[in-house]
Amino acid sequence: MTGAIFYKFMRYFILNKLPGIFLATFLMFFLFPPLNIIADQPIVVVLDPGHGGDNKGALHNGYIEKEMNLIVAKAMKEELEKYEGIVVYLTREDDTIDMNLKERAKFAENKKADFMFSLHFNMSATHMLYGAEVWISAFDDFYAKGHSFGQIQMAAYDDLGLFNRGIKTRLNNSGDDYYGIIRESRKLGINTVLIEHCHLDHVIDEEFYALGDFQLEEFGKLTAASVAKYYQLKSSLLDIDYSDYPVPAVPVPTEVMKQDLSPPDVCYIELMMVNEEAKEAVINLTAEDYDSRILYYGISLDGGISFDTLRPFPAGETELTVTVNLPTGTEISILAAAYNAYDRITQSNIILIDPLTEAEILAEIEEDEEELLDVTEVSLKEFTQELVEMQEQIEKKLNEYHFIIIGIVILMLILIAVIISRVDLLRRLMKS
């Protein structure tokens, strides 16, 4: 009986190829053990606060990058050490030390680092750019791991409300990674990403660090959480368990992941309408970059001499309706500029708008009124002048009549005198 059951069991086992599966699973477990089984050896992470010593990094309005980087790094280390199975080192512990990039890479190698995170704040030459970005190696597994971590970090920035400038690679003229810290550590087999938390020279980003060190420490905590997610760590202290965190899978690229070297391919504008009452123009902006993506767009009203604050161009879109506020009393040349992920710019066509017609009409009415006033004034003057002339003429004529009347009176008097004298003469004649 027992033998029969065993026989049936074995038959089932063989027919269903289960032994092979069991054996394969058994071997897989030993050849590729899950991360937590080999976690006897802790993850080693090196945090590199960028710059230091005389190398202050970016400077703007009293913000000193090397100091900000160190505050972030220290908070990040403190936070990461709350997780189990991780060891954290800082390349520099204070602001007096400067290390060159090779020294930083060597430091990470000496610590047998699994990953190095180089922490920075950004600044642009024009002070017009804002937002966060992660720079990664352009090569094979370094790219894949960097991009996987980058996605977690960028998602955290999105949640915080920082503008997302993306995860990017950049090559130098020799075709190697452009950023020294990434290049030098890759040579030593260490994967490094360079994190630009945001721009220390732009008012849009300033709200994320202007209030004090506690905000910088938030950057440290945020980035620590990204590392913990990436390595699926747990912290009983924080009551956090990321062991099921869905780490983004990035395939190892078969070629070098080059950067976009060309400006945006498309940028043009169309005038949809002008609302004179609201002093607005509505334009349709089409912008596209076939290699990377459009990050921002700017609007100029003076044909490209000056631009307003760059506005985010919605990811995945190629067209956008933009309302532009128009100044009055001046000719307007609307032009748009599209920025790609590498801050390369393409400017659009120009749309000319005459000075607002409303203002024009107003000006015309004023002119007409002035003319009308002029006309009235002129005719009034003429009229009074005519009146005066008429008066003068009447007076002249009256004067003339005076002479005539006086003349007539004198003549009449003479006539009377003559008549009287004749009467006297007649009397005398009659008497004699």
Q: Which residues bind Zn ion (CB under 5 A)?
A: 50, 57, 120
Long-range contacts formed by 302-307: CB under 8 A, 24+ apart: 302/332, 302/333, 303/333, 303/335, 303/350, 304/333, 304/335, 304/337, 304/347, 304/350, 307/128, 307/337
Question: Kindly report the CA angle at 282 between 278 and 285, in degrees rounded to 5?
Answer: 155
57 versus 298: smaller Cβ distance to Zn ion: 57
What count of other Cβ atoms lies within 10 Å of the Cβ of residue 153? 24
**Residue 46 near residue 108 (C-beta atoms within 8 A):** yes
Q: Which residue has the tokens 């990436």?
A: 230
Tell me the H-state helices in 256-356. Answer: none
How many other C-beta atoms are found inside a 10 Å radius of the C-beta of residue 388? 10
Closest residue to Zn ion, based on beta-carbon distance: 120
Tokens of residue 423, six digits: 């009467």
CB-wise, 135 or 242, nearer to Zn ion? 135
* Contact of 145 with 221, CB cutoff 8 Å: no
Least distance in angstroms from the C-beta of 151 to Zn ion: 22
Nearer to Zn ion, 73 or 336 (CB): 73
Residue (170 or 229) nearer to Zn ion, CB: 170
| Torsion sign over Cα 102, 251, 219, 82 | negative
- Angstrom distance (rounded) from CA 344 to CA 67: 30
Q: Which amino acid is at 143?
A: Y
Residue 57 or residue 150: which is nearer to Zn ion going by CB? Answer: 57
- Least Å from the CB of residue 198 to Zn ion: 12
**Which residue, 83 or 219, is less far from Zn ion as judged by CB?**
219
Residue 120 neighbours by CB distance under 10 Å:
26
Please, which residue, 50 or 146, has the CB nearer to Zn ion?
Answer: 50
